[in-house]
Structure 1
Amino acid sequence: TLPHQTDHFFKSMMMPVLAPAGVQEYIDFGVHGYAMSRYSGCWVAFKALADTVETSASVDVDPDRVQVVIPEDFAIPADGLNIRWPDPPLVQEKRLLNQKLYAALAYARANRLNRVIIDAPDARLGIITSGKSYLDVRQAFDDLGIDEALAAEIGIRLYKVGMVWPLEADGVRLFAAGLEEILVIEEKRQLLEYQLKEELYNWREDVRPRVIGKFDEKGEWAHIGRSDGTVDHGDWLLPAAGELTPAMIARVIAGRIERFFTSDRIQARLAFLQAKEKSLSERLFSIDRVPTFCSGCPHNTSTHVPEGSRALAGIGCHYMVTWMPERRTGTFTQMGGEGVPWVGQAPFTS
């Protein structure tokens, strides 16, 4: 059981994925999701992160806020794209791969779900991001003291992606034109980065920018020999493990622009962020206040095991029993698989 990332699963199911950046976009993209589904015939996925779901905000609920634009550059076939009966599997597959996904791309293009937010007349560094990571990038800009005017002076172009899969190619190439480097900032494993590299790979070498994201220029799977005979691999820039924070993003942005722009103000802000991160990582108290079950919760009594026995944990609140050694409960498994570890242990149990 690992921290999950469902957008890769949605991709495998050939479902366009919308990634709202905040509570307001949950409403706006919700409207677009319904409209895109009706237009293209696709199931449309919606990326929901706890950081956004478990929060609140003031929002505009004007029913006319989102004006849906019907694409003019895609021809709907005479028999449409939606479900019908009978509909053999191979016919469905052909329609999905040859028409429905391209209809979804046309919808994203017509409604500008992906767009440039900050531009510069002579942009050198492009940043492409989406969802929560977009807000983290804006926070990183604020932390570094980079407003839109300074970003233009530095040469930064910022591209916000609303539909993270499939990645609409025309907008990407317009965004990438003239850039020296593109930094992809996204939480967890690469989704945008792999698509971006694929779409730019066959572009002319004289206009194709360098693309980095989770790893630096050495590459993700690089096997690099050192002078001492040992081998190394690419260095993580924005790790996929754990949480991506605005401070981590700020350090990477500052490092990438340092090749052609720096200022005492940015360096001072960066030093402050590093000191703050260091202080937050240090323990202030020598005791731990371990979470436990709420008063009245059945887990308070149901997790006690008979003398001489031991139990195995599951996912959810029950997992907290693994922090209580006196209740002799170890290991854990995914939701729905709680009994599986017993299968392997049963032959060795009397």
Structure 2
Amino acid sequence: MKQPVICIRVLINQLPRQLRRGIYEMDERFTQASGTHVYTGCELLVKGALESGVSLLTGYPGSPLAEVFDVIQRNAELLKNNGIVAQIANNEALSIARLNGSQMADVRAIAFMKSVGLHVASDALAISNLAGTTEGAVVVVGDDTWSHSTQVPADSRFLARHVYTPLIEPSTFQELKDWVNCAFQISAAADLYVCYLTTENQASGGGNVELQPNIYPDITGLKRVNLDTELIDADKRVVLPPHTAQIETETLQERLPTALEMARHLGLNTIQFARETSGKNRFPLGFVSAGLAHSCLLHALGELNLYGDIPVLKLGMTHPIDADIVREFAEQIDEIYVVEEKRPLLENEIKALLTQMYQDGGIKRYVNIWGKQFPDGLAGIPAASGLDTSILIQKLIPLLKHRLATESGTGDSEEADPLVDLRHFSREETLQKAVAEQQIAIPQRTPTFCPGCPHRDSSSVFLEITRQFMDADYMKKHHASGPVDIVFHGDIGCYSMLKYEPFPRLMHNLSAMALGGGSGAGIDNKQIVFMGDSTFFHGGLAAISDSIKNNQDIAYIILDNQTTAMTGHQPTPAGELDILGNPTFAQDIELVAQGLAGSSEIDIVRTNPEDRGHYKKYLEKPILKP
């Protein structure tokens, strides 16, 4: 006998259309063609795309890049007036597919997503990247290195290498904007997509930058083109064996080296604060860094009165690494210290490069590379979470004392390299300790739903149901059965906060985006799966179909609040307007669920959680249905 799969759609009262549309005045900062102005990191990414002649902006909202889509929405008039297409894809993989299609014409296209979104997009990115580019395709990824709003640790550098994309890591806010154009130039020249890595601190922070005029593209939504199919190279665009191996060889031997040459031409990799050295006069140490870690490093050196005194190799393109500039840097110093967030990726790659050079005779001495471990038992750069200036100061003071300073045996005076001020180091250590010991009385609270959110009503009703279902007297009286212990599954969305008080009873297991239903296979308990409306369109349809196909005894609670709430209230496919305010077909979740259920006996109930009495009645019987 088939087990029921119940799709319950939870609705809220609809706002009047004119209120839901939103009224935005075009932000003049996004048409400013010269001078300076202040922007957030996400705003700089959009301004950088406009200054680069972009035709298509797409992606899927996720912290720390969710604000990008708010910026796009606020500047809808500017984009529409110039025919620039902006679309939120149903998921990250579909946004890469849009980039793939865009590269059949001479246009520039850019996609935005968070780190776990890149996981979702990786299959599409791998094949699209090998198919190549025309004017350029850029994938902007936001890494939440501190895991403030991301369920798994983020380090997208590894995935970029896995799919053969060049990787750019801007450091300053000026670079965050300007290097978008560099990424497009590299993409077009190398015939590869470019991954453009930002972090939470960069995306959510901001600064004052110098501006350039916007470049409006020739091919737009207002000036469309027809492709001449006779000119499409199917062997290139359709990546299939036996051509895959040939394309891989071409990528490794020609396309990635071209990306590196373009990065050299654009000056993305630089040796800062180089010293005149020769032979035995090398500087004792130097640093290698990239991205936000580089900014933190310079800040830390400044706080230690060492800014500009120690050589630093700044890598703007971190894949592929420029072996020539690494060799040049290594010849100037005795030891290299790599400062990077997360795992030792740059450290290990630079070790491999210099070891190979030493073995091949390209350099005359072995160069020690340190990073996550410092010499003589000193603690190195943390491999977990992110970096900030204070962390680096705490790690660098012992190292610099050890490598650059000496103390006299009397203890009454200090002798040191003029570069190092040990008394200043001591004052800085005292300051760091004092700051660490500060006790700030902030009320502790866990994340919860926004006031007025319908998830509050849904959760409160389910909390009552779970309590009553475990009450033998209640179950005997109302349902003529014994107690029922419900297992709750969830995935990524607002409802994942059910883990916290007052609702921890409603979250036993968490799966990846849209996969909560799949985690219930093989369990005999009655099961509930929470799913959001945006998640439903992201991939939840497949999970529901899978449950139906495999006869799971499971109830899907689709919490439809008509918005992508957790990332900033971006529109969903169920809405009547797209991100630019254009009318669009509103897809009905209930009708889609009915299409999946077909002629089966699966219950699909539509109800409003504000009417708690009726809502509870609707829930109890379908959940207990044999």
TM value normalised by structure 2: 0.46
Q: Distance in 2 between matches of 1:25 and 1:19?
A: 9
The alpha-carbon deviation at position 321 of structure 1 amounts to 1.6
Partner of 1:247: 390
Q: 1:85 aligns with which of 214, 223, 234?
A: 234
Cα deviation for residue 158 of structure 1 reads 0.9
Q: Which structure is larger by alpha-carbon Rg, 1 or 2?
A: 2
Residue deviations 1:46-74 (CA, integer Å, cap 9, x gap): 0021211123322222259xxxxxxxxxx
Q: Does 1:188 align with 2:317?
A: no
The correspondence of residues 296-335 of structure 1 with structure 2, limited to 5 A, is 296-304=452-460, 305=462, 306-307=465-466, 308=469, 309-328=486-505, 329-335=507-513
Residues 305-348 of structure 1 show CA distances to partners (whole Å, capped at 9, x for unaligned) of 2223352332233222211244512332222222233225x235
Contact 1:164 1:191 in 2 (8 A): no
Q: Distance in 2 between matches of 1:331 and 1:146?
A: 50
Look up the equivalent residue of 1:318 and give its one-letter code: Y
Q: Counterpart of 1:105?
A: 260
Q: 2:423 aligns with which of 248, 261, 264?
A: 264
The amino acid that maps onto 2:497 is M
Q: Which residue identity does 2:519 align to in structure 1?
A: P
- 1:303–1:327 contact (8 Å) kept in structure 2: no
Question: What is the CA distance between 1:267 and its match in structure 2?
Answer: 2.1
Whether 2:291 is the aligned partner of 1:131: answer: yes
Deviations 1:218-275 (A, max 9, x none): 8xxxxxxxxxxxxxxx875222212222111112222222122242112211221133
- Displacement of 1:116 in angstroms is 1.2
Cα distance, 1:334–1:235 mapped onto 2, change above 3 Å: farther
Residues of 1 paired with 2:312 and 2:456: CA distance? 50
Q: Deviations over 1:189-219 (max 9, x none)?
A: 222112101110133475332111112348x
Among 152, 175, 196, which residue is 1:2 paired with? 152
SS at match of 2:437: helix
**Structure 1 residues 119 and 253, CA gap change in structure 2 (3 angstroms):** farther
C-alpha distance in 2 between matches for 1:145 and 1:12: 40
Q: Which runs of 5+ in 1 are unaligned?
A: 65-82, 219-233
For 1:134, the aligned partner's letter is H
Hey, what does 2:25 align to over in structure 1?
A: none
Distance 1:192 1:337, change over 3 A: same
Q: Distance in 2 between matches of 1:276 and 1:143?
A: 15
In the TM superposition, residue 100 of structure 1 has moved relative to its aligned partner by 0.4
- Select the residue among 163, 169, 182 that pairs with 1:19: 169
Distance 1:162 1:330, change over 3 A: same
Task: Report deviation, 1:42.
Answer: 1.2
User: In the alignment, which residue of structure 2 is the partner of 1:160?
Assistant: 314
CA contact (8 A) 1:315 1:333 kept: yes
Aligned match of 2:212 in 30, 42, 62?
Answer: 62
Is the counterpart of residue 95 in structure 1 residue 250 in structure 2? yes
Residue 189 of structure 1 aligns with an amino acid whose one-letter code is R
Cα distance in 1 for residues equivalent to 2:266 and 2:235: 32
| Higher RCO, 1 vs 2 (CA within 8 Å, ≥6 residues apart) | 2
Seen in structure 2, the aligned counterparts of structure 1 residues 316 and 242 have a Cα distance that, compared at 3 Å, is: farther
**AA in 2 matched with 1:292:** T
Q: 2: CA distance between counterparts of 1:268 and 1:252?
A: 15
Note the residue ranges of structure 2 that are not aligned, 5 or more in a row: 1-150, 215-231, 237-242, 277-281, 406-419, 470-485, 528-626
1:165–1:192 Cα contact (<8 Å) kept:
no
Counterpart secondary structure, 2:508: strand
CA distance in 1, matches of 2:233, 2:401: 57
Indicate if the aligned counterparts of 1:113 and 1:161 stay in contact, CA closer than 8 A.
Answer: yes
Runs of 4+ displaced beyond 6 Å: none
Please give the root-mean-square deviation of Cα atoms over the aligned residues, in Å: 2.4
SS in 1 for 2:509: strand
Task: Give the direction of change, closer, same or farther, for the CA distance of 1:216–1:147 in structure 2 (3 Å limit).
Answer: closer
- The answer to whether the 8 Å contact 2:289/2:313 transfers is yes
Give the Cα–Cα distance (whole angstroms) in 2 for the partners of residues 311 and 35 of structure 1: 49
Q: Is the 8 A contact 1:178 1:207 kept in 2?
A: no
Secondary structure of 1:208 counterpart: coil
1:144 touches 1:270 (CA, 8 Å); kept in 2? no
1:347–1:215: structure 2 CA closer, same or farther, 3 Å change rule? Answer: farther
C-alpha change, 1:278 and 1:142, in structure 2 (3 Å) is: farther
Q: Paired residue for 2:446, among 290, 299, 308?
A: 290
Alignment partners' CA distance in 2, 1:123 and 1:249: 21
Deviations 1:110-136 (A, max 9, x none): 222110122234522111111111111
CA distance in structure 2 between the aligned counterparts of 1:278 and 1:241, rounded to whole angstroms: 22
Cα separation, partners in 2 of 1:293 and 1:38, compared to 1, 3 Å:
same
Change (3 A) 1:235 1:253: closer
In 2: Cα distance, 1:303 partner to 1:172 partner: 56
